[in-house]
């Protein structure tokens, strides 16, 4: 299936008149992603946790729904309440598979449930429940209601950064609604589909789909809109126009401040802000426009737009938009080289994104935050010296950010790994304790070994329910992500240590399945594994005694761990005498 792109939309032409920028030129290439998305199976069906499923009937399902709708945001729950909430959600996710057509709760109840699951911070469950319930409604011949749920399932996929899967949900939903749907569901699906293209940086395709959304809106007679209670066509068009302006902003960010897309985006968003918009759309459009002015090196114009947005969000009950507002404030401070306030705004943005469960914002804030840290390090001269210095602000910022995201890693885990890594390194490194520079590198590698988890969504880092293969694959990315973060901060030696802390001598590790890596990486790998086995903070397994964990590390010598490092670790944690090897060496397989 492909979506044709035809004449420019009359509504969008009105929004962008007085410009000569050709905003709706025909895309240079076909919307090739449509076919690949349409062929994918429903993501809710392929991503279901592999666990014992208990059959539930319609009455039991309704009881589960009621209990889940009483849950509060997952990041705000204490550990025991979080565990109970996860069990309850797992019961729902497993039970929805066993429902037969006609047994499910009413579609409007399921819609509210899926929205609530997204709101409290479990988009994976929202995706599964939405997609599976949509399948049941399709078998009952209730296409438009199924399309609503597929739209919500697509948004839940986008929450998880799975934009191709999101697009697949939108394509399936589009097949279920007519082109003259008075509820404007088709327009919404197309607009969301355009957002998926934008996130995938297929910008020409995105513009074409936004154009189709507006053309679809134009084709609905006024009378049908009024009967459906959707009489304000301009408000819906303004929301699509904001998405188009956001698309140009993303493209301008990629192509540079001198690109034509800065002017295009400014033209679209300024015109949209002159029309009638929902308060939420107006705040989002103002924020997007502010970022375009920053790209154009016009901080004063950006400040005019941003100065009142925080107050408006709070007055209108739209606190969920605060993370984006705070991020733009951080960018504004950075453009004026006010790094201290920029970092402060970033911290506020991340805390807000975790509180209001917006994972796309969460990951974007991390990217902006790392840009700030890079600037701070650059001002300090020698980056490793700045990082090592007593009370180094960069190190504190990284650990503080990680602690905000991951209850386990960001707490004492990283410090314990760093301490144990140094103890081991002092006994296996060349020159023993006298090689202070190398010992410091190993210690910092242990402290920052999981910094790549900054790029993993909160809901996955703290997930108790069974992991599915795609969860494991995403979690495994943290090693290479940590390496990239430290390279971005111009700390290449530390990057090598962090990138290797899950490699194994037998070649079965990740991310590169290397048999040989640095000694520092091997030390951190063993320290991390031991600390994980003995930690009381792991929510999904009991801690092992030091003797048991050390024996397991020694048993993995030659396959999972470097043999000498494993021997020294056991001696350190069990306080046995140990000898000093004479030379630093590379870790090799058996």
- Given this model, what pLDDT does residue 87 score? 87
Residue 70 domain-assigned (yes or no): no
- Given this model, what pLDDT does residue 588 score? 33
- Given this model, what pLDDT does residue 184 score? 81
- Given this model, what pLDDT does residue 203 score? 96
pLDDT band at 35 (very low <50, low <70, confident <90, very high): very low
Q: Average pLDDT in the 109-118 region?
A: 91
Residue 258 domain-assigned (yes or no): no
Residue 582 confidence (pLDDT) above 80:
no
- SS3 per residue for 321-389: HHHHHHHHHHHHHHHCCCHHHHHHHHHHHHHHHHHCCCHHHHHHHHHHHHHHHHHHHHHCCCHHHHHHC
Instruction: Please tell me what DSSP assigns to residue 433.
Output: G
Instruction: Please tell me what DSSP assigns to residue 587.
Output: B
Residue 396 domain-assigned (yes or no): no
Residue 180 domain-assigned (yes or no): no
Percent of the chain with pLDDT over 70: 78
Lowest mean pLDDT among 265-279, 394-408, 449-463: 394-408
Residue 335 domain-assigned (yes or no): no
Measured CA to CA, the distance from residue 333 to residue 28 in angstroms comes to 38
Lowest mean pLDDT among 19-33, 494-508, 545-559: 19-33
pLDDT band at 527 (very low <50, low <70, confident <90, very high): very high
**Domain carrying residue 503:** 403-573
Lowest mean pLDDT among 314-328, 415-429, 462-476, 498-512: 462-476
We report the CATH number of the domain holding residue 411 as: 1.10.3210.10
Residue 481 domain-assigned (yes or no): yes
By the 8 A CB rule, do 130 and 156 touch?
yes
Residue 557 domain-assigned (yes or no): yes
By the 8 A CB rule, do 5 and 208 touch?
yes
Instruction: Tell me the pTM.
Output: 0.76
Indicate the number of domains in the chain: 1
Reported as a single tens digit per residue, the pLDDT across 319-345 is 888 988 999 999 999 888 887 788 788
- Given this model, what pLDDT does residue 296 score? 92
Please state, in angstroms and as integers, the Cα–Cα distance from residue 35 to each residue in 41, 132, 152, 165, 191, following that order: 12, 22, 21, 12, 18
- Given this model, what pLDDT does residue 356 score? 64
Alpha helices in 70-162 (DSSP H): 79-96, 107-120, 123-139, 143-159
Residue 427 domain-assigned (yes or no): yes
Lowest mean pLDDT among 119-128, 334-343, 547-556: 334-343
Measured CA to CA, the distance from residue 255 to residue 251 in angstroms comes to 6
- Given this model, what pLDDT does residue 421 score? 94
Q: Which residue has the higher pLDDT, 104 or 212?
A: 212
């Amino acid at each position: 299936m492909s979506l044709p792109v035809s004449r420019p939309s009359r509504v969008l032409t009105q929004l962008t008149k007085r410009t000569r920028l050709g905003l709706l030129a025909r895309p240079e290439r076909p919307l090739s992603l449509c076919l690949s998305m349409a062929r994918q199976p429903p993501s809710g069906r392929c991503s279901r946790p592999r666990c014992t499923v208990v059959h539930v009937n319609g009455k039991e399902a309704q009881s589960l729904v009621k209990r889940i709708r009483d849950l509060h945001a997952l990041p705000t729950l204490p550990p025991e309440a979080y565990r109970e909430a996860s069990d309850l959600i797992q019961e729902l996710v497993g039970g929805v598979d066993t429902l037969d057509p006609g047994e499910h709760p009413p579609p409007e109840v399921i819609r509210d449930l899926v929205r609530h699951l997204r709101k409290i911070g479990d988009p994976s469950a929202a995706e599964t429940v939405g997609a599976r319930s949509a399948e049941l409604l399709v078998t009952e011949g209730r296409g438009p209601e199924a399309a609503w749920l597929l739209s919500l399932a697509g948004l839940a996929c986008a929450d998880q950064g799975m934009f191709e899967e999101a697009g697949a949900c939108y394509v399936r939903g589009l097949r279920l609604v007519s082109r003259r749907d008075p509820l404007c569901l088709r327009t919404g699906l197309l607009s969301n589909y355009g957002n998926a293209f934008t996130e995938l940086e297929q910008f020409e395709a995105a513009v074409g789909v936004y154009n189709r959304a507006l053309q679809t809106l134009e084709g609905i007679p006024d009378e049908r809109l009024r009967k459906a209670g959707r009489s304000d066509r301009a408000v819906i068009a303004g929301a699509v126009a904001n998405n188009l302006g956001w698309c140009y902003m993303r493209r301008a960010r990629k192509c540079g401040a001198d690109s034509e897309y800065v002017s295009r985006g400014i033209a679209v968003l300024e015109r949209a802000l002159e029309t009638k918009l929902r308060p939420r759309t107006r705040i989002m459009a103002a924020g997007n426009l502010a970022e375009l002015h920053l790209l154009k090196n016009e901080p004063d114009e950006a400040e005019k737009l941003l100065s009142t947005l925080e107050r408006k969000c709070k007055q209108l009950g739209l606190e969920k938009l605060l993370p984006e507002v705070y991020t733009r404030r951080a960018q504004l401070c950075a453009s004026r080289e006010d790094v201290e306030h920029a970092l402060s705004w970033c911290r506020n943005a991340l805390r807000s994104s975790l509180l209001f469960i917006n994972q796309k914002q969460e990951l974007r804030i991390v990217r902006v935050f790392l840009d700030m840290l890079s600037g701070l390090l650059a001002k300090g001269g020698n980056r490793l010296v700045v990082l090592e210095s007593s009370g180094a602000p960069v190190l504190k910022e990284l650990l503080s950010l990680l602690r905000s995201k991951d209850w386990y890693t960001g707490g004492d885990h990283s410090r314990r790994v760093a301490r144990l890594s140094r103890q081991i390194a002092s006994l296996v490194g060349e020159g023993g304790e006298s090689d202070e520079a190398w010992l410091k590198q190993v210690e910092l590698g242990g402290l920052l070994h999981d910094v790549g988890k900054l790029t993993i969504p909160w809901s996955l880092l703290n997930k108790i329910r069974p992991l599915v293969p795609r969860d494991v694959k995403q979690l495994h990315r943290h090693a290479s992500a940590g390496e990239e973060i430290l390279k971005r901060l111009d700390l290449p030696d530390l990057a090598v240590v962090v990138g290797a802390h899950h490699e194994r001598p037998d070649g079965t590790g990740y991310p590169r399945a290397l048999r040989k890596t640095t000694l520092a990486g091997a030390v951190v790998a063993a320290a991390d594994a031991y600390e994980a086995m003995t930690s009381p903070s792991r929510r999904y397994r009991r801690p092992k005694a030091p003797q048991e964990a050390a024996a397991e590390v020694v048993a993995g010598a030659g396959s999972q761990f470097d043999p000498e490092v494993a021997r020294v670790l056991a001696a350190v944690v069990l306080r046995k005498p140990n000898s000093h090897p004479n030379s630093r060496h590379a870790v090799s397989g058996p």
